[in-house]
Amino acid sequence: MDLGLDGRTAIVTGASRGIGKYIALELAREGCHIAICARTEADLEDAAEEIRAEGAEVLALPMDVTEAGEPERLVQETADRFGRIDIYVGNVGGNRRGDFEELSDEDWDDLINLNFMSHVRVSRAAIPHMKEVDGASICYISSIFGRELGGGGLSLYNTTKSALISVSKVMAQELAPEIRVNSVAPGSIRFPGGSWDQRVNEKPDEMAQFVEENIAIGRFGRAEEVADTVTYLCSERASLITGACLNVDGGQSHSLI
Ligand SMILES: NC(=O)c1ccc[n+]([C@@H]2O[C@H](COP(=O)([O-])OP(=O)(O)OC[C@H]3O[C@@H](n4cnc5c(N)ncnc54)[C@H](OP(=O)(O)O)[C@@H]3O)[C@@H](O)[C@H]2O)c1
């Protein structure tokens, strides 16, 4: 299947490692030029080299996307370098566990900024550029815990990931037909050095039991599987899909909607 992504330009936030890097690699394999960002410059450069090895031109911008002006700089420098923006993958995100009663305003501000507002700001800056090309697409990386209860201690994560799905649905309505907007909801994704990998290495028996009890297909998801889904959603082949949230979770989630 030709995805028709050759020569397009994609921004992927939080792409020095993990799911974001795998998404950038897959988009590069399909012929996209890539702009990536993360805070740790050395890791970002290593990732950029890996992505260049796939034949892509890569703009690697070390930055904290929660800092004022940085989302707009990411977009402007991408447009200046490549002359167009076709795809925005809002991948950056994190978790901060804590009992609701204990979480401070600062905790809420930090996670809302990272998991939600960074994507709002990059999207808002990118939309005028994306409207100038045919077949533009935005994809946010949410979580199955944006679609259903994640459990105690996850109020920040649950709330911000739900908000991302919610806003993508409204954006899909407002930005049609020029820009499609979707989200992806990964389950537990294991990759070398990632949080699930660390947990498996620390507590293999406990994690084996977790997988058996929680993931229907009987294994963790792979970052490549999320990357393939995102790449498809961002391509012309998904031209009728907008406002959708797609689980990539091996049957881990239980939500009916
Ligand atoms: N892994 C899973 O099982 C899973 C499941 C569901 C959803 N997700 C979602 O998928 C996304 C990626 O997860 P992951 O597990 O791949 O994460 P990860 O391994 O922690 O990687 C996060 C990436 O974002 C960068 N980053 C973090 N804070 C940043 C900031 N303030 N500004 C710029 N870059 C920043 C990190 O680099 P620096 O630290 O150097 O900045 C890194 O490149 C997240 O939105 C996560 O919530 C993951």
pLDDT digits (tens, 9 = 90+) for 158-172: 999 999 999 999 999
Residues of the chain with pLDDT > 70, as a percent, come to 100
pLDDT digits (tens, 9 = 90+) for 50-75: 999 999 999 999 999 999 999 999 99
User: Ligand 1 centroid vs 208 CA: distance in angstroms?
Assistant: 24
C-beta of 16 in contact with ligand 1 (< 6 A)? yes
pLDDT digits (tens, 9 = 90+) for 114-165: 999 999 999 999 999 999 999 999 999 999 999 999 999 999 999 999 999 9
C-beta of 188 in contact with ligand 1 (< 6 A)? yes
Q: For ligand 1, atom 12, which residue shows the shortest CA distance?
A: 19
C-beta of 17 in contact with ligand 1 (< 6 A)? yes
Which distant-in-sequence residues (6+ apart) come within 8 Å of 124 by Cβ?
none
Q: What pLDDT does 1 receive? A: 86
Q: What angle do CA 159, 164, 166 make, to 5 degrees?
A: 90
Q: How far apart are the first and last CA of the chain?
A: 29
Q: For ligand 1, atom 34, which residue shows the shortest CA distance?
A: 38
CA distances from 158 to 16, 63, 68, 135 (A): 24, 25, 24, 31
C-beta of 238 in contact with ligand 1 (< 6 A)? no
C-beta of 143 in contact with ligand 1 (< 6 A)? yes
Can you give the pTM of this predicted structure? 0.98
Q: What is the DSSP letter of 147?
A: T
**Helices 18-29 and 223-233 sit at what angle, rounded to 10 degrees?**
50
Domain ranges of the chain: 9-189+222-248
Report the pLDDT averaged over residues 182-199: 97
Q: Are strands 58-62 and 33-38 parallel, antiparallel or unpaired?
A: parallel
Whether 88 is catalytic is: no
User: Ligand 1 centroid vs 15 CA: distance in angstroms?
Assistant: 8
| Choice among 22, 88, 140, 157 that is catalytic | 157
Q: For ligand 1, atom 18, which residue shows the shortest CA distance?
A: 18
C-beta of 64 in contact with ligand 1 (< 6 A)? yes
User: Ligand 1 centroid vs 18 CA: distance in angstroms?
Assistant: 7
Atom number, ligand 1, closest to the C-alpha of residue 193: 19
User: Ligand 1 centroid vs 26 CA: distance in angstroms?
Assistant: 17
Residues of the chain with pLDDT > 90, as a percent, come to 99
Asked whether residue 190 carries a pLDDT value surpassing 90, the answer given is yes
User: Ligand 1 centroid vs 38 CA: distance in angstroms?
Assistant: 9
Q: What pLDDT does 257 receive? A: 83
- Classified by CATH at the fold level, domain 9-189+222-248 comes out as Rossmann fold (3.40.50)
- Max Cα–Cα distance, the chain, nearest Å: 52
User: Ligand 1 centroid vs 17 CA: distance in angstroms?
Assistant: 8
Report the pLDDT averaged over residues 193-200: 97
Atom number, ligand 1, closest to the C-alpha of residue 64: 32
| pLDDT-based confidence at residue 244 (cuts at 50, 70, 90) | very high
